[in-house]
Chains A and B, each alone.
Chain A
C-alpha cells in the first residue's frame, strides 16, 4: 500500500518557517537539550561501579560522535510530536499543521530520521515518517499575542511503552497515584532506557491526566512544580524511584531518574485521573520560540544557530 503525500503550497513566510523547523528537527535528533546533558554529567559522577561507568562513558562518546558527524544520536528518532502555545495573532496560525508535517517530511530525508509511521489496521510503514496523525500537533491558543512557543519531541518506542493512565476513586487518594507510578517503573522502566525523566499527570480523566503527564516531560529536568504539595510529591517520587536502584540501562545503580515532574489540573470530585509518561536518557526535547517576523530563539540549546 502507498501513503499519498503531496507537499503543501505554503505562503512565503510559511515556507520559511517550515525550513527553519526542518533544520531544527535535525538538530534535536543529534543533540540533547542543555538541561538533560548537564544532568547526565552529574549522574555519571555519582555512579562508581565500573559497569555503570562504562555505560555513561559510552553515552558521552556517543553524543560527541553524533554532534560531530551530525547524525541522529539514537536510531529511534521517534514519532514526532509538537506541543504548541500560539497567540491568536501569530500570522501563520492557519498553516501550522501543514508546516509541521512538511518539516518532518523534509527533515526525515535530510537528517536522516528513521521511518516510524505505520498506518494502523492497514499495517504498512509509509516509509516517509509521516502518516495519519503523525506528526501529532497539540495546540493551545492561550492569548492574543503574535508569538508562538513550540516544543519538538521525538518520542521513541522504548520510552513510550511505559505510558499509562487510569482513573482512581478518590478513596485511593494520592497513595494510589504513588502506587501507579512506582509499579510502572519496575515493570516497564528498564526498557525505557534509564536514567528516566518521569512525567506524572494528575487531573480528572485518562486523556487529561495523560496530557498533563506528557506536558510534564516538556519541563526541564530540574524544574519544580509551583504547587507545594505537587513539588513535595515530585521530590518523594524522585528519591523513591532512585532508591529502587534501576541504574543506567537497568543494570542497577544509585540513580534511576533524571527527574520527576508533576503537572496537575483540577479534578471532578468523584475521580482522580493519573497519567504517566517517561522520557529516556536520550530525551530529545527541543524548544523553539518565534515572533511574528520569524525571529527565533532556542532556549534549550545554548550556542546553536540554524
Chain B
C-alpha cells in the first residue's frame, strides 16, 4: 500500500505505476458526474459541457447550497455506487480522456478495458464521509446541466488533498473488488454449509 499525491492535469506517466490497493490524494479539478450525464454523453451523443480531460470525475450526488449570483457552497459530498455507470464508462473514458474515475464499490470489465487502454484509474472514496469530503472542496467554480437537479448537476470542484482514494482498478486493468469477490464467494459457500447444519428447525 503506497501513497501518492496527484495534481491535475494528470499525465499517463503520473499514474502508470500506481497499483490496486494504493492510496491517492488529489489536488485540482474534480467534476461530479453520474447517471444521466453519462447517458447524455454516450447514448444521446450530447457533448459534455465541461472538459474533464486529464482531470477527475466523481460519481456523486452532493448537497449544495445556492448562495445566489452563481455562487455555491459544498455542504456534503460523497460517492455513489459506481457500478450503475459501468454500462457507459468505457465509452465515457475513451471520449473524454478523463484520468481518475472516483466512486464507490467496484466496476466491471468495460471500465477495466478503459483503464488499461486509455490509462486511467478507478478509485474509491470511503462512502458516507460526506462532510469530511466537503471540507476538501475549496470552491465550486462552475455548474453545468443544472436542469438535472441538485444530485445530477455537473459540479466543477476545485479540491485540495481530496482523499483517501483507494485504487480499485489500475492502468494494467487489475481489479481489486473482482479479486475480493472470488474470495468472498468461496468463503460464503463454506459458511453456508456450516450454518445449515444448525438451522433444521422444521422437523
Footprint of B on A, CB under 8 Å?
Answer: 30, 50-51, 54-55, 58-59, 61-62, 65-66, 69, 71-77, 112-116, 125, 127, 157-158, 161, 170, 173-175, 177-179, 182-183, 185-186, 190-191, 193, 229, 232-233, 236-237, 239-241, 243-246, 248-252, 280-282
* Complex CA distance for A157 and B104, rounded to whole angstroms: 12
* Complex CA distance for A173 and B181, rounded to whole angstroms: 27
| B129 close to A59 (CB less than 8 A) | yes
**Which of A59, A244, A252 interacts with B128 by CB under 8 Å?**
A59
With A51-B166, A175-B200, A280-B128 known to touch, is A182 a contact of B151 (CB < 8 Å)? no
* Complex CA distance for A72 and B64, rounded to whole angstroms: 11
**Which B70-92 residues have a C-beta within 8 angstroms of A?**
75-78, 80-81, 83
* Complex CA distance for A245 and B182, rounded to whole angstroms: 12
Most A CB contacts (10 A, CB to CB) among B129, B188, B196 go to: B129
| A62 close to B132 (CB less than 8 A) | yes
Residues of B within 8 A of A71 (CB): 75-76, 130-131, 134
Residues of A within 8 A of B129 (CB): 58-59, 61-62, 73-74
* Complex CA distance for A54 and B131, rounded to whole angstroms: 16
Least CB distance from B24 to A in Å reads: 12
Footprint of A on B, CB under 8 Å?
Answer: 1, 21, 23, 60-63, 65, 75-78, 80-81, 83, 104-106, 124, 126-132, 134-135, 149-151, 164, 166, 176-177, 180-181, 183-185, 187-188, 190-192, 194-196, 198-202
Tell me the interface secondary structure of chain A in the complex.
helix
Residues of B within 8 A of A75 (CB): 60-63, 75-78, 130
**Which of B63, B104, B164, B188 interacts with A114 by CB under 8 Å?**
B63
**Which of B83, B104, B131, B201 interacts with A174 by CB under 8 Å?**
B201
Most A CB contacts (10 A, CB to CB) among B128, B129, B188 go to: B128
Rank and list the top 10 A-B pairs by shortest CB-CB distance, nearest first: A62-B129, A240-B191, A62-B132, A75-B130, A75-B76, A282-B128, A174-B199, A191-B105, A125-B149, A65-B131
* Complex CA distance for A121 and B185, rounded to whole angstroms: 37
| B63 close to A77 (CB less than 8 A) | yes
Could you show 27 A-B contacts with beta carbons less than 8 Å apart? Answer: A51-B23, A58-B129, A69-B131, A72-B76, A75-B63, A75-B75, A75-B78, A76-B78, A76-B80, A77-B63, A114-B151, A161-B81, A173-B200, A186-B181, A236-B194, A236-B198, A237-B195, A240-B191, A240-B192, A243-B187, A245-B183, A245-B187, A249-B124, A250-B177, A251-B166, A252-B180, A282-B128
Most A CB contacts (10 A, CB to CB) among B21, B65, B132, B166 go to: B132
| A72 close to B130 (CB less than 8 A) | yes
**Which single residue of chain B is at the shortest CB-CB distance from A126?**
B149
| B21 close to A51 (CB less than 8 A) | yes
Residues of A within 8 A of B65 (CB): 112
Residues of B within 8 A of A240 (CB): 188, 191-192, 194-195
Residues of A within 8 A of B60 (CB): 75
* Complex CA distance for A248 and B80, rounded to whole angstroms: 16
Least CB distance from A100 to B in Å reads: 21
Q: A114-B150, A173-B200, A177-B199 are in contact. List 9 more A-B contacts (CB 8 A).
A: A69-B131, A73-B131, A75-B78, A157-B80, A178-B199, A233-B199, A245-B184, A250-B105, A252-B180
| B63 close to A113 (CB less than 8 A) | yes
With A71-B131, A175-B199, A182-B192 known to touch, is A190 a contact of B187 (CB < 8 Å)? no
With A71-B134, A115-B151, A250-B105 known to touch, is A229 a contact of B201 (CB < 8 Å)? yes
Residues of A within 8 A of B166 (CB): 51, 249, 251
* Complex CA distance for A243 and B188, rounded to whole angstroms: 8
**Which single residue of chain A is at the shortest CB-CB distance from B149?**
A125
| A281 close to B195 (CB less than 8 A) | no
| A236 close to B199 (CB less than 8 A) | yes
With A61-B132, A191-B83 known to touch, is A74 a contact of B127 (CB < 8 Å)? yes
Least CB distance from A221 to B in Å reads: 16
Least CB distance from B101 to A in Å reads: 16
| B126 close to A244 (CB less than 8 A) | no
| A54 close to B23 (CB less than 8 A) | yes
**Which single residue of chain B is at the shortest CB-CB distance from A159?**
B128
Least CB distance from B79 to A in Å reads: 9
Residues of B within 8 A of A185 (CB): 188
Residues of A within 8 A of B77 (CB): 75
Least CB distance from B53 to A in Å reads: 26
Least CB distance from A249 to B in Å reads: 5
| B128 close to A186 (CB less than 8 A) | no
Least CB distance from A176 to B in Å reads: 9
| A54 close to B164 (CB less than 8 A) | yes
